[in-house]
Amino acid sequence: MLKKPRGTRDFLPEEMEQRREIEGKMRSVSRNWGYREICTPTFETQELYTIRSGEGIINEMYTFEDKGGRKLALRPEGTAAVLRMYVNEAKVISKPIRWCYLSDCYRYERPQKGRYRQFWQFGAEQIGADTPAGEAEIILLANDLLLASGVKFELHVGHLAPMKHLLSELTESDRKAVMAILDKHNFDALKDYLESINAEELYESLKSLLECRNIDDAIEICGDIPEKERIKELISILDRQGIEYRLNLGIVRGLDYYTGMVFEGFAENLGAENQIIGGGSYRLAHLFGGDDVASCGFGIGFDRVMVSLGEFTPETAPSVSVVYTPDVSAHAFSVAKSFRDAGINTELNLLKRGLGAQMKHAAKTADYAVVIGKREAEAGTVTLKNMKSGDQNEYTVENAVTEVE
């Protein structure tokens, strides 16, 4: 028996209905904010991803050569393709550009709970608004999306300027090593490493910055950084909107990728792999031949959101199952059409089952049974049975449709 590839999943109808409901809620929120949906190719040129991250990322991607010898890769994330699309298709569009997307992505890594080789990312990118208001909007949009999904989460908002200021005197290799330690909040290891590079004077400042929850305190720790007024304006906008978040100036992942504002979100019930969103401000378009335009955005780990939500019953419209005797099959198809024309999910018996077997099947699959025998067909009526309450009455087809609606 052939099995699905490792790190992929099959989704049965119940799972797909759950996923489509959450997707629909996210799309609706995005539209309300003016973010229009786009779609990019599933595979891109390999260079799109290596031009920024280097050749080392190839080991983490699904790569291949086509029949023309071109090196291609299945997309490992959404942002690079969106910025490539902007450079190719949309440089002259009035800014700011607001786009969103739901993309399947592929990474060659060890599968585990909430982390798969094929996974889905709901993302949004805002291009051309280099302002605190633009950064605040992308955070507020992300917050609304997560609230709409129903997931319970904690949002962390930070800015890289204070951290970059403190680490500015270190070499690039030392800076990366310190960031890796800070990411794990391992203060003993931090002290040891700083002593080894004769930079122990940074220890108290770095530790205080990671524990700081007030922007004024952060500026006191780091000094008079040029971005302080921009950061204060961003925080002021968020505070006036009343969203729940935690100021976290210790966010260091993506320090070479992001240029200023950064934020992350964590689900309450996913254990160690609990990050469900990450985003911030960045500049990528110039790498792909475009202008050096300011952008900001985020990616939501859609699969982790679904794992966090767990099992739930999607909101569905009433459904009917048309149950009929063999001698009225043509009429049954016409009755089913009347229900479908009204937008009601309608299934029809396709097997040579008796009425009893059809009713048992309807009890498993539908909210109502529409029963048609010779008498109903001649009278132009149906017997409508509520499969939950057991109540049943005879109606004209038109009135039966109205009753179900």
Q: Domains of the chain by range and CATH?
A: 13-309 (3.30.930.10), 319-404 (3.40.50.800)
Q: Strand 71-74 to strand 43-45: parallel, antiparallel, or no bridges (unpaired)?
A: antiparallel
Tens digits of per-residue pLDDT, 160-181?
999 888 888 899 889 888 988 8
- SS3 state at 251: coil
Q: Give pLDDT tens digits for 186-227.
A: 889 999 999 999 999 999 999 999 888 888 888 889 888 889
Amino acid at 14: E
For residue 314, say if its preceding peptide bond is cis, omega within 30 degrees of 0.
no
Separation of alpha carbons 271 and 337, rounded Å: 49
Q: How many CB atoms lie within 10 A of CB 299?
A: 21
Q: Say if residues 271 and 113 touch (Cβ distance below 8 Å).
A: yes
Q: Is the pLDDT of residue 149 over 80?
A: yes
Q: How far is Cα 404 from Cα 287, in angstroms, rounded to an integer? A: 57
Under DSSP, the state recorded for 245 is -
| 313-337 residue pLDDT tens | 888 889 999 999 999 999 999 999 9
Q: Which two tokens stand for residue 172?
A: 């690039």
- Report DSSP state, residue 327: G
Q: What is the mean pLDDT of residues 357-375?
A: 95
Q: What confidence category does residue 255 fall into, taking pLDDT thresholds of 50, 70 and 90?
A: low
The pLDDT-based confidence of 272 (bands split at 50, 70, 90) is confident
Using pLDDT thresholds of 50, 70 and 90, give the confidence band for residue 254.
low
The answer, yes or no, to whether residue 74 has pLDDT greater than 70, is yes
| Residue 251: per-residue pLDDT | 86
Distance, C-alpha 194 to centroid of its chain: 38
The pair of three-digit structure tokens given for residue 82, joined into one six-digit string: 């969106």
Share of the chain above pLDDT 70, in %: 99
Reported as type and span, the H/E element at residue 264 is: strand 258-267
pLDDT band at 273 (very low <50, low <70, confident <90, very high): confident
User: In 3D, which of 107, 109, 85 has the Cα closest to residue 97?
Assistant: 85
**Element housing 365 (H / E):** helix 355-365
Q: What is the DSSP letter of 54?
A: -
Which of 70, 68, 44 has its CA nearest to residue 57?
44
Render the burial of 13-45: b for 16+ CB within 10 Å, e for the rest: eeeeebbebbbebbbebbeebebeebebeebbe
Q: Model confidence over 108-126: pLDDT tens digits?
A: 988 776 678 999 999 999 9
Is 385 strand, coil or helix? strand
Q: Give the pLDDT mean for 10-39.
A: 96
End-to-end CA distance of the chain, in Å?
44
Q: How far apart are CA 318 and CA 153, in angstroms?
A: 32
Instruction: Determine the pLDDT at residue 164.
Output: 86
Considering only CA atoms, which of 254, 299, 320, 372 is closest in space to residue 146? 299
Residue 27 binned pLDDT confidence (cut-offs 50, 70, 90): very high
Task: Share the mean pLDDT of the chain.
Answer: 93
What integer pLDDT is reported at residue 114 of this predicted model? 62
When pLDDT is cut at 50, 70 and 90, the band that residue 101 belongs to is very high
